Structure 1
Amino acid sequence: MIKRFLRICATSLILFATLLLFANVVSAHGKVSLENDSCIRGIEGSMVHLSAYQPQYDPEAEYCTEIPHEGKTFWVIDLVDQALRDMPIAVRIVKGTGEKLSETVANFHSTYHPEGVIKGESNLDGGQYTIFVTGEGVPLVQYQYPLRVQMINYADTFRAAILPMIVLLLLAFITNKYLKSRRMQQS
């Protein structure tokens, strides 16, 4: 009976280690191809990439559309394609999303960016925003990034909690089976 219990524990440990390895691979952002990067926007073959930073909270963290805290937010837009570097680009940050756009929070006038990088800083309160990146070429191209500042993302919270819940349920199940088998032996 002890051998069976040890076998179940070993199997559970291997399953748990496998799930941990799988979870780390899924959550990694650094080695994602451009086509699968959620911070990339593309129109007619041209692409832009958004990165946001809040070094006052976490100096090494990079965000895209989910900004964890209110306050000073530094952002960088990379113009991936040369065609965008050769046309004037304007950036506008507006409070709200979709049909519910309200006030303009920041407006960076149209200018050329031959180095391919647009940098800015904005003070963002909690809520939803939209960043509009407009290339004023022919044809006009506009990229949109919806931002959520200091808002709970329930999908991410659920994904983060599911693995500990599975492990806890698995351990409870194994413990229950072990205790039942011990009672049967003692009877």
Structure 2
Amino acid sequence: MKLPYPHLAFLLFIGSLLLTACESPGYNDNPSQQMTKATVGCLVATDFFAVYFSAYIKPANDSNTKMTVKDRKALFRSYCKNIPTTGTAFFTADVVGDELRQTPIGIRIVEQELTGGDEDKAENFKDIRTIAEIPAKLYPRGAVEAQAQLDKNGYYAIYLMVGGEEALSDEDKLRIPLHVGVDPDANPIRTYIAIGIGGTVGLALIGFVAYRFMRRQNSQ
């Protein structure tokens, strides 16, 4: 019995999907806080509140050199966790929900040190220097803004403290991690591993289908 061409095309299509299905970025596996790429900024959330966060960087040496078109575009690019260079950083966080617009929010920006383990887990960091701090106040329009001078590569974090000084528990704090000096377009190694596995499986399926098809053709 001859294998119908539509069936072959369908199986080849499924195999090609396996070559690309693993390219989607993963999610933070920390169950208490998530940071994912959204259409407007990055969604950073705990079990109690959430914001859409964006960071913009002004390179430290932009005033001393003639800016190219590429440099100007970089000034208007927003970042999530990974920021490519040092400089003056501008942060915006649009709060989700009306309740947070009626509650004072304090801001603290700190430099951190990775003490070991998975860098996606907040407990593996410790604060070593406060870069900037803004007292708690109301943000009735829902746009929380701050800026800080990120003067060297490394780890930083922004704490949004709901209730200001009364935010004593972790439930009232939202930590937004930052990593300066990292290419934001680079894929993590686990993505490459997933792509490699998906590609191997996809190619194997395509080869098997082609082999079966040619064998049936030769048997006619």
TM-score (norm 2): 0.55
Counterpart selection for 2:105 from 89, 103, 107: 89
Q: Structure 1 pair 143/155, CA: closer, same or farther in 2 (3 Å)?
A: same
Uncovered stretches (5+) of structure 2, i.e. residues with no partner:
1-6, 28-35, 59-70, 114-122, 212-220
Q: Structure 1 pair 116/38, CA: closer, same or farther in 2 (3 Å)?
A: closer
Q: Which residue number in structure 1 is paired with residue 19 of structure 2? A: 19
Query: Helix, strand or coil: the match of 1:84?
Result: helix
What fraction of aligned residue pairs are identical, expressed as a percent?
21
Task: Please state if 1:102 is matched with 2:128.
Answer: yes
Separation (CA, whole Å) in 2 of partners of 1:122 and 1:41: 24
Q: Which residue number in structure 2 is paired with residue 67 of structure 1? A: 82
Q: Structure 1 pair 146/29, CA: closer, same or farther in 2 (3 Å)?
A: closer
Q: Structure 1 pair 68/84, CA: closer, same or farther in 2 (3 Å)?
A: same
Counterpart selection for 2:144 from 105, 118, 128: 118
- After TM superposition, the structure 1 = structure 2 runs for residues 156-171 of structure 1, keeping only pairs within 5 Å, are 156-160=188-192, 162-163=194-195, 167=199
Deviation at 1:160, TM superposition (A): 3.7
Task: Give the aligned CA root-mean-square deviation in angstroms.
Answer: 4.5
Count residues with an aligned counterpart.
172
Q: Is the Cα–Cα contact under 8 Å of residues 83 and 182 in structure 2 kept in the other structure? A: yes
Separation (CA, whole Å) in 2 of partners of 1:163 and 1:133: 36
Query: Helix, strand or coil: the match of 2:128?
Result: coil
Separation (CA, whole Å) in 2 of partners of 1:60 and 1:157: 28
Uncovered stretches (5+) of structure 1, i.e. residues with no partner:
1-6, 179-187
Separation (CA, whole Å) in 2 of partners of 1:70 and 1:165: 33
Separation (CA, whole Å) in 2 of partners of 1:139 and 1:103: 21
Counterpart selection for 1:40 from 45, 55, 58: 45
Q: Is the Cα–Cα contact under 8 Å of residues 86 and 114 in structure 1 kept in the other structure? A: yes
Separation (CA, whole Å) in 1 of partners of 2:135 and 2:164: 14
Separation (CA, whole Å) in 2 of partners of 1:25 and 1:152: 15
Separation (CA, whole Å) in 1 of partners of 2:56 and 2:164: 29
TM-score (norm 1): 0.62
Q: Structure 1 pair 60/169, CA: closer, same or farther in 2 (3 Å)?
A: farther
Higher relative contact order (CA 8 A, sep 6+): 2
Separation (CA, whole Å) in 2 of partners of 1:138 and 1:163: 46
Q: Structure 1 pair 13/171, CA: closer, same or farther in 2 (3 Å)?
A: same
